[in-house]
């Protein structure tokens, strides 16, 4: 889970907690939202739970009241003197609905207001995050897809559901993302709102992100690899989804949980990554190559384990390596669709021939991408850390330093640099 220990998005000036309305619609996944509520409250947010009458059939009001510390109502007729159907939406800093059922999405899209949650959505003037959960047939129905498109067009962040086990024996897209993933998306939206920027400024865009590190097999048990954890690439995918984008994440050997609302394509080797990236790039407005792709692979993958003791008696093992394709340079040169923006990453170290930025500027010119995100790597730098410090280089010679900051903040800075190039 991302590190938010230094994230200022849970309080406003004067350290008063921000107000969150947590709507709960009537789906079986409502039980998972208890964990989301705990995450929100423990982060310092002031959370008011608004379940529908159907949601209370799955999880009762006492549970929501105990976890939030506030009374719970689903009807506009409760506490009428406080006008809750208007007040909740006006006072909220963000409204989150999980699970957002097909019925709830339809009501929100068409402005229906027959209970406290739907009226709150209609009066809210803050960012809205919807985490759908329903059976696959309902999610894929043209009516639901049209409602989602309508909501996204208005600026709401509608996360794509996860794929997996549904109610009964059903399996497919429609599963509620895990509470930790929804929580990360909510914080990303609030971070944007706190900076005075629109939450869904990537709505209608399809972005492709590669992450992790490729592994090139030597034999059945060994490989050539690198130290990339995939954290920065995953942060890029998560923040793009939270900003309204449709996201494809090509993930090489990362053990991180998939971000909410992101389509993950797992790969292992550089050749597999190239194939997956080229297949997805045709529909991508932005391609961000954050994965650490091996430059070389063994010329021959041994079918049996290489023994420690060699028949020649020589203590040295000589490996013949061949060069892998340069995926970033290929994508930059071919531009799979008009106006496509390509972003590369460079993990660099200085040497006797130049410093980090000298090598990075040469790489930017060589690769032909629009932006290059440069970070110096080494002991406790770059790989497997929760924070990052980078320089954003552009093809016109500009350079912007970012950090030290969380990898989510770095990701937002990258998307901020991409946006003008899309427009």
Q: How many Cα atoms are found within 13 Å in the side-chain-facing hemisphere of 13?
A: 1
Distance CA 420, CA 392 (A): 14
Preceding omega of 99 cis (within 30 degrees of 0): yes
Contact 283, 206 (CB under 8 A): yes
Active site residue 226: yes
Backbone angles phi, psi at 136, to 5 degrees: -55, -45
Radius of gyration of the chain (CA): 24
Runs of H (alpha helix) within 176-230: 179-194
Nearest Cα to Cα of residue 360 among 402, 324, 328, 393: 393
Contact 264, 251 (CB under 8 A): yes
Beta strands in 157-295 (DSSP E): 157-158, 162-165, 171-175, 206-212, 216-217, 223-224, 246-252, 262-267, 286-289
Query: Is residue 131 classed as helix, strand or coil in its secondary structure?
Result: strand
Contact 349, 377 (CB under 8 A): yes
Token code pair at residue 420: 């003008």
Contact 194, 237 (CB under 8 A): no
Instruction: Please state, as a whole number, how many other Cβ atoms lie within 10 Å of the Cβ of residue 190.
Output: 25
Contact 58, 26 (CB under 8 A): yes
226, 253, 324, 388: the active-site residue: 226
Q: Is the dihedral of CA 303, 309, 311, 312 positive or negative?
A: positive
Q: Indicate the angle between helix axes 231-242 and 179-194, nearest 10 degrees.
A: 70
Distance CA 299, CA 218 (A): 9
Q: What is the dihedral of CA 241, 390, 277, 324, to 10 degrees?
A: -160
Beta bridge pairs of residue 340: none
Q: Which residue has the tokens 């229906």?
A: 112
The DSSP element (H or E) to which 94 belongs, if any, is: strand 94-100
Token code pair at residue 137: 């047939």
Token code pair at residue 322: 């061949």
Show which residues are catalytic. Answer: 226
């Amino acid at each position: 889970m991302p590190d938010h220990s230094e994230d200022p998005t849970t309080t406003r000036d004067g350290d008063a907690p921000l107000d969150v309305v947590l709507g709960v619609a009537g789906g079986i996944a409502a039980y998972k939202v208890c964990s989301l509520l705990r995450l929100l409250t423990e982060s310092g947010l002031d959370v008011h739970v608004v379940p529908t009458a159907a949601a209370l059939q799955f999880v009762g009001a006492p549970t929501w009241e105990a976890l939030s510390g506030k009374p719970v109502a689903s009807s506009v007729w409760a506490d009428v003197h406080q006008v809750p159907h208007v007040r909740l939406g006006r006072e909220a800093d963000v409204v989150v609905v999980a699970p957002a059922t097909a019925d709830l999405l339809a009501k929100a899209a068409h402005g229906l207001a027959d209970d406290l949650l739907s009226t709150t959505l209609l009066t809210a003037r803050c960012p809205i995050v919807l985490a759908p959960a329903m059976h696959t047939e309902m999610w894929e129905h043209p009516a639901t897809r049209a409602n989602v498109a309508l909501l996204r067009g208005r600026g709401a962040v509608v996360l794509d559901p996860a794929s997996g086990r549904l109610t009964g024996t059903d399996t497919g897209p429609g599963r509620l993302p895990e509470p930790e993933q929804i929580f990360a998306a909510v914080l990303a939206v609030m971070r944007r709102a706190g900076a005075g920027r629109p939450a869904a400024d990537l709505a209608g865009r399809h972005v492709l992100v590669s992450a992790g590190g490729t592994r090139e097999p030597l034999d059945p048990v060994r490989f050539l690899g690198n130290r990339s954890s995939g954290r920065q690439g995953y942060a890029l995918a998560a923040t793009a989804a939270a900003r309204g984008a449709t996201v494809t994440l090509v993930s090489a050997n990362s053990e991180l949980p998939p971000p909410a609302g992101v389509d993950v394509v797992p790969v292992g080797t550089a050749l597999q990554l190239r194939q997956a990236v080229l297949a997805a790039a045709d529909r991508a407005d932005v391609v961000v190559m954050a994965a650490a792709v091996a430059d070389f692979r063994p010329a021959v993958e041994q079918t049996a384990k290489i023994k420690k003791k060699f028949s020649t008696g020589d203590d040295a093992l000589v490996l013949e390596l061949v060069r892998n394709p340069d995926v970033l340079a290929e994508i930059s040169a071919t531009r799979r669709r008009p106006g496509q923006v390509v972003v590369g990453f460079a993990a660099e170290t200085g040497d006797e021939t130049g410093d980090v930025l000298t090598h990075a500027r040469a790489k930017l010119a060589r690769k032909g991408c629009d932006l290059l995100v440069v970070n110096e790597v080494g002991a406790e730098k770059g790989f497997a850390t929760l924070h990052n410090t980078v320089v954003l280089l552009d093809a016109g010679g500009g350079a912007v330093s970012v950090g030290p900051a969380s990898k989510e903040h770095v990701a937002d800075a990258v998307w901020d640099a991409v946006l003008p190039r899309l427009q």
